[in-house]
Amino acid sequence: MLRSSILTAGVVLLAAATAAMAQAPPTEPEDVRMTVEALKQRNRDLERRLTELESKIGASAEQQQMRREEVKMLIDQTLAENKKMFSPDWMENLKFSGDLRLRYEFRRRETSPLNDESRARFRLRFGFEKAWPAEDLTVGFRLASGSGNDPTSTNQTFQMFQKTPVWIDRAYARWTPKAVKGLSVTAGKMANPWETSDMIWDGDVNPDGIWVQYDVPGLGPITPFVGAGVFQLYAPENSARSNSDLMSYSTGLRFQITKDVRWTAAANFFEYSNLDDALAGGAFAGRGGNTNIRDSRFHMFDLSNKVEFKAFNLPWTAYADWVQNNDNNLATHRNTGFAVGAKVGQNKKKGDWSGRYAWKRLEADAVPDYFAESDFGWNTFTNRKGHQLGVDYNITDNMTAGVSLFLTEPIKAAGANIKEDRFTVQADLVWKF
């Protein structure tokens, strides 16, 4: 741009001089030649000065770029040194998470007379997870509140200003070898590893044992999986009792049908052994739902289906879960459970909301009442049917308010409890950190 302007000025000057000479009185040829040479020399001087100026400007821009790069390198080096100072190597790939839930709960049992209960409770959970990518290893633990050794609850009821205990809720190690893509081996006290619903497993149950799963890679949108594990329920301290264990096997697939539609199907088999020894040894306690847990070994087959999709610009999840206890020792034949449910929305940031609904029918001996969802069938846990619904709203990115409602009744009345309809309302405030 600058060069063009200067050259243009030189040409204009030369043209003006030529025109002036044309109008001026005739001069000697030598004078004309000298004047033209002088103008050409001036134009060459202008071009030389322009080249020098452009060279200086280019050098200045290059120097500025070099200075910017030097400053960036200095900043990056300083940040790296500070990170190493305040975040030592052992803190790399270390994650901390937790949540605090405050709850008010009202329960009504329609007996004669009416039995109403209301209580305030809290739940606190927090833990760490550390990954070593080079060793394909992850180790984690989580601590949680709770009263007693109930595996289906981490709630603590407020009472008499008492201090409350903290329990080890999870403690596990997981190996995912890069050499065998899709394989994972988890051992310890772990999160529920099965594709199933809370009809069988309360959301707070964290089984103890070892679980091996293989997700078959390289099949495009379809990912078949298989899994197997053994979990310890009771280990006696003397030879008068036998070990009580749970053997579990699972197979299924995840199918990414479209970008916004995903289907997950799973078949699970659960085989309990020696529950009577666990009960007699004091480690396992029936809750009144099962008719005769001593004579039942609980050989359960579970079939679960779940579809995730988007509609009306909202995420949806719909599921159906069916379970049957195939133990031949059962004389009651009350051995089947079925649940259907749906959820719409999500809770990730301020202003998000979600709603959910489920209908369940869980017969008395379909599953061990010790592990079934506690809120749906409180006091018996099985032999219940009814409705479960709720809504949650994000007040902030990390705080959620929600209300849950349970309306249930017995499938078959027992003893004097002819009606036993139950109504439960829970109001929750949850902080995640």
Same domain, 71 and 149: no
Q: Which residue has the tokens 């709203």?
A: 393
Same domain, 71 and 113: no
Residue 14 lies in a domain: yes
For 182-211, the pLDDT digits (tens) are: 999 999 999 999 999 999 999 999 999 999
Determine, yes or no, domain membership for 95. Answer: no
Those residues with Cβ within 8 angstroms of residue 160's Cβ, 6 or more apart along the chain or in another chain: none
- Alpha carbon 390 to its chain's center: 20
- Is residue 409 a part of any domain in this protein? yes
- Mean pLDDT on 102-125: 86
Cα distances (angstroms) measured from residue 176 to each of 26, 61, 139, 179, 252: 99, 51, 11, 9, 20
94 belongs to a structural domain: no
In a domain, 93, yes or no: no
Helix 29-86 vs helix 2-23: crossing angle, to nearest 10: 170
Q: Which residue has the higher pLDDT, 156 or 22?
A: 156
Q: Which of 73, 70, 167, 67 is nearest to 127 (CA)?
A: 167
Is the same domain home to 23 and 137? no
- How far separated are the first and last CA of the chain, in Å rounded? 58
CB 106 within 8 A of CB 118: yes
Least Cα distance to 273 among 227, 241, 237 occurs for 241
Residues 74 and 105 in one domain: no
Residue at 291 is within a domain: yes
Instruction: Determine the residue type at 373.
Output: E
CB atoms near residue 252 (< 10 Å): 21
Instruction: Tell whether 163 and 14 lie within a shared domain.
Output: no
Query: For position 21, what pLDDT does the model report?
Result: 44
User: What pLDDT does 6 receive?
Assistant: 43
Among 192-196, 249-253, 369-373, 429-433, whose mean pLDDT is lowest? 369-373
Could you tell me if 46 and 149 lie in one domain? Answer: no
pLDDT given at position 31: 62
Q: Who has greater pLDDT, 125 or 111?
A: 125
CB atoms under 10 Å from CB of 41, counted, come to: 10
Question: What is the number of H-type helices and E-type strands within the chain?
Answer: 3, 17
Instruction: Quote the CA–CA distance of 130 and 128 in Å, as a whole number.
Output: 7
Which carries the bigger pLDDT value, residue 80 or residue 352? 352
Give the pLDDT confidence score for residue 14 in this predicted structure. Answer: 43
The per-residue pLDDT for 291 is 76
The answer to whether position 316 is within a domain reads: yes
SS3 at position 64:
helix
Interval 420-429: pLDDT, tens: 788 999 999 9
Domain boundary among 59, 86, 113: 86
Report whether 280 contacts 244 (CB < 8 A): no
The pLDDT tens digits for 61-74 are: 677 677 778 778 87
350 in Cβ contact with 432 (< 8 Å): no
Looking at 86, 109, 125, the residue that finishes a domain is 86
The confidence score (pLDDT) of residue 66 equals 78
- 239: Cβ contacts below 8 Å, ≥ 6 apart: none
Q: What CATH number is associated with residue 298?
A: 2.40.160
pLDDT tens, residue by residue, 405-416: 999 998 876 554
Average pLDDT, stretch 113-141?
92
Q: Is the pLDDT of residue 216 over 70?
A: yes
Residue 158 has pLDDT above 60, yes or no: yes
The 10s digit of each residue's pLDDT in 285-339 is 556 677 765 555 789 999 999 999 999 999 999 999 999 998 756 655 688 999 9
Chain centroid offset of residue 131 CA? 17
Is residue 279 scored above 80 in pLDDT?
no
In a domain, 169, yes or no: yes
Taking CA atoms, 182 is separated from 138, 173, 177, 178, 336, in Å, by: 15, 17, 8, 8, 33
Cα–Cα distance, 298 to 365 (Å, whole number): 8
Pairing between strand 137-144 and 115-132?
antiparallel
User: In this structure, how many other beta carbons lie within 10 angstroms of the beta carbon of residue 399?
Assistant: 14
Same domain, 275 and 377: yes
Same structural domain, 255 and 396:
yes
Q: How many domains is the chain partitioned into structurally?
A: 2
**What percent of the chain clears pLDDT 70, i.e. is strictly above it?**
77
Structural domain of residue 78, as residue ranges? 2-86
- Region 379-405: mean pLDDT is 94
Model-level pTM greater than 0.85? Answer: no
Write down which residue in 21, 52, 86 finishes a domain: 86
Q: Same structural domain for residues 152 and 253? A: yes
79 and 178 both lie in a single domain: no
Greatest Cα pair distance, the chain, in angstroms, is 139
As a whole number, mean pLDDT of residues 232-244 equals 78
The highest-confidence range among 39-48, 328-337, 368-377, by mean pLDDT, is: 368-377
- Would you state the pLDDT for residue 275? 75
**Would residue 385 be called left, alpha or beta, if left means φ above 0 and alpha means ψ between -120 and 50 degrees?**
beta
> Does 108 share its domain with 202?
yes
Residues 192 and 72 in one domain: no
Mean pLDDT, the chain, rounded, equals: 84
